[in-house]
A and B are shown apart, each in its own frame.
Chain A
Amino acid sequence: MSFESLLFQAVNGLASASGLFLVAAGLSIIFGVTRIVNMAHGSFYMLGLYLAVTLAPLLGETVGGALGFWGGIVAAALVTAGLGALVEVVLLRRIYAAPELYQLLATFALLLIINDAALYFWGPEDILGPRAPGLSGSVEFLGRHLPQYDIFLALIGPIVLIGLHIVLTGTRFGRLVRAATQDREMVAALGINEAVLFTAVFALGTGIAGLGGALQMAREPANLALDLSVLGDAFVVVVVGGMGSLRGAYLAALLVAEVKALCTALGVVEVAGITFNMSRLTLVAEFLVMAVVLVIRPHGLFGRPQPAAARRGEAEAPLVPLGPRGRLVALAVLAFFAGIPLFSAFASYAPVLALDMVIAALFAASLHLLMGPGGLASFGHAAYFGLGAYGTACAATVLGLPTPLALVIGIATASAGAVLFGWFCVRLEGVYFAMLTLAFAQIVWSIAYQWEEVTGGSNGLFGVWPDPPFDSANGLYLAALAVTLAGLVLIRRLVFAPFGLALRAARDSRLRAEASGIAVEKVRWLAFALAGTLCGAAGGLFAFAKGSISPEAISVGRSIDGLVMVLLGGVNSLTGPLLGAGGLTLLQDMVMRESAYWRALLGLIILAAVLLFPAGLAGGLRRRRAP
Chain B
Amino acid sequence: MTTPVPMLDIDGLDAWYGAAQVLFGLSLKVETGEAVALVGRNGAGKSTTMKALIGLISRRAHRLTLRGADISALPTHVIARLGIGYVPEDRRIFSDLTVLENLDLGRRRRAPGNTITDWSLEAVFDLFPHLAELRHRPGGQMSGGEQQMLAVARALVGNPALLLLDEPSEGVAPIVVEQMTLALTRLKASGLSLLVSEQNAQFCAAICDRAYTIEQGAVHWHGPMAALAQGGRSRPAFGPPG
Pair from one complex: yes
A178 lies within 8 A of chain B by Cβ = yes
CA distance A496 to B80 in the complex (A): 50
Chain B residues closer than 8 Å to A188, beta-carbon distance: 55-56, 75-77, 80
Looking at the assembled complex, report how far the CB atom of B137 sits from the nearest CB atom of chain A, in whole angstroms.
15
Evaluate contact between A178 and B97: CB separation under 8 angstroms: yes
Chain B residues closer than 8 Å to A182, beta-carbon distance: 94-96
Question: In residues 26-72 of chain B, which contact A (Cβ within 8 Å)?
Answer: 54-56, 58, 60
Evaluate contact between A178 and B94: CB separation under 8 angstroms: yes
Stretch at the interface among A44-52, A113-121, A191-199, A265-273: A191-199
B145 lies within 8 A of chain A by Cβ = no
Evaluate contact between A186 and B58: CB separation under 8 angstroms: no
Question: In residues 175-220 of chain A, which contact B (Cβ within 8 Å)?
Answer: 175-176, 178-179, 181-183, 185-194
For the complex, count residues of B whose C-beta is within 8 A of A. 30
Evaluate contact between A190 and B21: CB separation under 8 angstroms: no
Chain A residues closer than 8 Å to B19, beta-carbon distance: 314, 623-624, 626
Looking at the assembled complex, report how far the CB atom of B144 sits from the nearest CB atom of chain A, in whole angstroms.
17
Evaluate contact between A191 and B77: CB separation under 8 angstroms: yes
Chain B residues closer than 8 Å to A178, beta-carbon distance: 94, 96-97
Q: Known: A190-B158, A192-B105. Is A179-B58 also a contact (CB below 8 A)?
A: no
B101 lies within 8 A of chain A by Cβ = yes
Looking at the assembled complex, report how far the CB atom of B20 sits from the nearest CB atom of chain A, in whole angstroms.
9
Chain B residues closer than 8 Å to A185, beta-carbon distance: 56, 76, 92
A to B CB contacts below 8 Å, 11 in the list: A172-B105, A181-B96, A185-B76, A188-B75, A189-B86, A190-B77, A191-B80, A191-B158, A194-B76, A626-B18, A627-B60
CA distance A176 to B77 in the complex (A): 14
Chain B residues closer than 8 Å to A193, beta-carbon distance: 77
Evaluate contact between A189 and B105: CB separation under 8 angstroms: no
Looking at the assembled complex, report how far the CB atom of B92 sits from the nearest CB atom of chain A, in whole angstroms.
4
Evaluate contact between A175 and B75: CB separation under 8 angstroms: no
Which 4 residue pairs spanning A and B have beta carbons closest together? A191-B80, A188-B76, A626-B16, A186-B92
Chain B residues closer than 8 Å to A183, beta-carbon distance: 92, 94
Contact with A along B80-120 (1 / 0, CB 8 A): 11000010100010111100011011101000000000000
Chain B residues closer than 8 Å to A624, beta-carbon distance: 19
Chain B residues closer than 8 Å to A179, beta-carbon distance: 94, 96-97, 102, 105
Evaluate contact between B108 and A191: CB separation under 8 angstroms: yes
Looking at the assembled complex, report how far the CB atom of A171 sits from the nearest CB atom of chain B, in whole angstroms.
11
Looking at the assembled complex, report how far the CB atom of A173 sits from the nearest CB atom of chain B, in whole angstroms.
11
B154 lies within 8 A of chain A by Cβ = yes
CA distance A182 to B96 in the complex (A): 8
Looking at the assembled complex, report how far the CB atom of B237 sits from the nearest CB atom of chain A, in whole angstroms.
28
- Across the interface, B54 reaches (CB within 8 A) one of A176, A189, A192, namely A189
